[in-house]
Structure 1
Amino acid sequence: MNQSLHSISEQERIISLDIMRGFAILGIFLVNMLTFHSPFPNFDPYEWWSGTADQAIYTFIDIFVQASFYTLFSLLFGYGLVIMWERSKIRGSTFGLIGVRRLSFLLMIGILHALFIWHGDILITYAVMGFLFLLFIRMKGRNLIITGVLLYIIPNLLVSLLLFVSLLVAPAEEITIYDPEQAEMTLQVYQNGSFAEIMIQRMSDWYETNNLANAPFMLISIFPLFLIGGGAAKLKWLEKPKEHKKFLTLLASLSLLIGIIFKLLPYILGKNFATEYVQDIFGGPLLAIGYGVAIALAIEKTVFYKILSPLSFVGKLSMSNYLFQSIVSTLIFYNYGLGLYGKVTVVTGTVMVVLIYILQIAVSRFWISRFYYGPVEWLWRSFTYFNWPKWKREN
């Protein structure tokens, strides 16, 4: 087999990317857990969870986690695609076919995930946005970032202004995502329904978010992050953090500071659809950038590298670990499993996240010591490169 078609070798991996992926998998799990065990976000969380500890942990997740980790993964996805594109050029292979096969496999896995496991799937969206990103991948790094930033800020700023104006003509309670009737129906199906009934509900819940009416919002909230991440890859920000240390330190500091301000907006101005939209749409990505850059800079120091490096085991098996979280969680909460849906508090759910994630670190470390790729990652690479990459390590 021609070397140009080989997948990325272990030596070529960028450890900071794996650590960030592992960190993102934890953050995504914290947010997803709220939907795994409850009909969130169809209810007011501060009414549904009345306990002080529940509200405190939910507030922490809302400020520091919500909308920050799927956006971090979006940035990393664009970054990773550009790395593959550049390495394909070096090896003289045609990236177009490789990229299409890679995204096609992701789309297939996403469809199976959404239909048979969990409606909150993000893989389908990543695949679709990835196909679109292939049209832009040849742009220069600086142009990718500028295009991504403008495509993100301008339409989302207009939407935000429109929402604030709407509050002047309509009561805030009339503009809400909360739907108590839908929450109750969802609760009954996932708590008591058969597998077939749950599957129908799952498809309905997926379509509620992933319909054509919401497509423009996906385009202005996720796709620009692919461009920004891809631009950062071309500028080698993560491969050579020391060369960009001054800029990256300023970027991380400002992103975290301004991101926290946006995230606190509903708690300062009051919770309504407008402030919560701005909180997530601007605060989430800013924190994502801050988290990612801070990790890249921190692991340059040995002490922080030792602390954060266990996350890389999960990151190397990010797809397998993401799917594992969905499978385990739905088996715990849905009626065809333990049937605990609607019976778990935020505190309990968060403790479960921590315990499952620690298990994932241990299992991932064990797996990586014996295999080069996770099971899903190996299939993904096999389909992408149309060969069978070496899987088991020789001891």
Structure 2
Amino acid sequence: MNQHLSPVSERERILSLDMIRGFAILGIFLVNMLSFHSPFPFIDPYEWWKGPVNHTVYRFIDIFVQASFYTLFSLLFGYSLVIFREKAILKGQHFGKMAVRRLTLLLVIGIVHAFLIWHGDILITYALMGFLFLLFIRMNGKNLILTGFLLYAIPNILLIFLLIIAVLFSPEGDLALIDPKIAEAALQAYQNGSFSEIMVQRFREWSFANNLETLPIMIVSIFPLFLIGGGAAKLKWLENVEKHTKLLRNLLIISLLTGMFFKLTPYIFGGNPATDYIQDIFGGPLLAIGFAMSIALLAHKQKVKKLLYPLSYVGRLSMSNYLFQSTISTLIFYHYGLGLYGKVSVLTGTIMVIVIYIFQVIISRYWLRHYYYGPVEWLWRSFTYFRLPKMKRS
């Protein structure tokens, strides 16, 4: 069968997947906001933000949000790419060519985002991991999940042992990321610098987090999640929730309990590079899986579904909303905007996230009443399919 391939229609969309995306966009924004308004992570948050209220808000983000939502989006990325492939095969189209175009444009958007808007871009990483995922995407669901689990667990457990040894034998502070010089450079650039000076600082900070030294960490911390998400898609976990209810409920309980334990590791055993890494590398993804399973199960309960439904508006326009958050935040905090960088507390920043996200829910709902796709989603689909999908509703 060789039908003309078109973007996913509204009837074909998985509601819980859009809800999870919308929830992930909120979590990503909460974490990113720390770096939008302050030189995080080159500071000690408890010294930088004074007062018990700020400390409490930061602990909440650190335990429940940090490292959980970019990992959740990694799972969703793998899930969505498998759905895209299955639809292409069903229509008799060449998946490989379209996938390469799709990921190439994502890479271009990520480059523009990283160097012209905000250094903390994740789209470049997702695009590169997506290309690598194409080599594995033909595997069956169980093998994808098993391979992803082993690729994630084994290297990271070994790395944790090395970090524990380093902590035991290295002088205190040698392994810390806190760097007053980098923090001061960020303050000077974003508070007072011209657009070109801010671009230079963006590149410096992007290069600090994205280089040959950090590449292995990215591969073992993000790519395996693509495999696990892709495996879940092949097993139809979100499409057939009723069939998999017992499995999803067990995953929810196990992932939330173990995730919370790992998340609390620095608070139980003391903060150091080893416990901080354990907190993020195992606690983050486990909580992400728990959040996803919770939404997947709750989305099938009519009363709760109505409460969660607004998340789907943001989720359907996830890329546009993600880029909007970076754009509006840098306009608020950078010198070429309102210049509030370094002048906002974690409490104030979190309140701003809530206000902006509510606005995104409202504007996304309004947009979807008049258009089928967000502006970035429409561009992405047009390049992927080499045709212009209908944008405006009748």
TM-score (norm 1): 0.99
Mapping 1:1-395, distance limit 5 Å: 3-394=3-394
SS state of the match for residue 120, structure 2? coil
Question: Shift of residue 4 of structure 1?
Answer: 3.1
Question: Shift of residue 117 of structure 1?
Answer: 0.1
SS state of the match for residue 7, structure 2? coil
Question: Shift of residue 212 of structure 1?
Answer: 1.2
Unaligned 5+ segments in structure 2 are none
Deviations 1:11-32 (A, max 9, x none): 1100011000000000000000
For 1:222 and 1:105, locate their aligned partners in 2 and report how far apart those are by CA, in whole Å.
20
- Matched-pair identity in %: 65
Deviations 1:146-178 (A, max 9, x none): 000000000000000110111121133221111
Which amino acid is 2:363 matched to?
A: V
For 1:181 and 1:198, locate their aligned partners in 2 and report how far apart those are by CA, in whole Å.
16
Question: Shift of residue 300 of structure 1?
Answer: 0.9
Question: Shift of residue 3 of structure 1?
Answer: 3.9
Unaligned 5+ segments in structure 1 are none
Which amino acid is 1:368 matched to?
A: L
Question: Shift of residue 185 of structure 1?
Answer: 1.3
RMSD: 0.7
SS state of the match for residue 213, structure 2? helix
For 1:92 and 1:76, locate their aligned partners in 2 and report how far apart those are by CA, in whole Å.
24
Q: Is the 8 A contact 1:163 1:274 kept in 2?
A: yes
Q: Which moved more, 1:103-112 or 1:172-181?
A: 172-181
Deviations 1:209-229 (A, max 9, x none): 011111100100000000000
Question: Shift of residue 266 of structure 1?
Answer: 0.3
Deviations 1:77-134 (A, max 9, x none): 0000000001111110010011001001100000000010000000000000000001
Q: Is the 8 A contact 2:3 2:92 kept in 1?
A: no
For 1:141 and 1:343, locate their aligned partners in 2 and report how far apart those are by CA, in whole Å.
48
Question: Shift of residue 239 of structure 1?
Answer: 0.4
For 2:52 and 2:184, locate their aligned partners in 1 and report how far apart those are by CA, in whole Å.
23
SS state of the match for residue 4, structure 1? coil
Which amino acid is 2:342 matched to?
A: G
For 1:49 and 1:229, locate their aligned partners in 2 and report how far apart those are by CA, in whole Å.
37
Q: Is the 8 A contact 1:172 1:273 kept in 2?
A: no
Question: Shift of residue 289 of structure 1?
Answer: 0.4
Question: Shift of residue 237 of structure 1?
Answer: 0.4
For 1:251 and 1:95, locate their aligned partners in 2 and report how far apart those are by CA, in whole Å.
31
For 1:11 and 1:101, locate their aligned partners in 2 and report how far apart those are by CA, in whole Å.
25
Question: Shift of residue 139 of structure 1?
Answer: 0.3
For 1:172 and 1:143, locate their aligned partners in 2 and report how far apart those are by CA, in whole Å.
42
Deviations 1:358-381 (A, max 9, x none): 000000000000000000000000
Q: Is the 8 A contact 1:4 1:88 kept in 2?
A: no
For 2:231 and 2:284, locate their aligned partners in 1 and report how far apart those are by CA, in whole Å.
19
For 1:251 and 1:360, locate their aligned partners in 2 and report how far apart those are by CA, in whole Å.
31
For 2:9 and 2:303, locate their aligned partners in 1 and report how far apart those are by CA, in whole Å.
27
Question: Shift of residue 353 of structure 1?
Answer: 0.2
For 2:140 and 2:373, locate their aligned partners in 1 and report how far apart those are by CA, in whole Å.
31
For 1:28 and 1:172, locate their aligned partners in 2 and report how far apart those are by CA, in whole Å.
31
Q: Is the 8 A contact 1:79 1:230 kept in 2?
A: yes
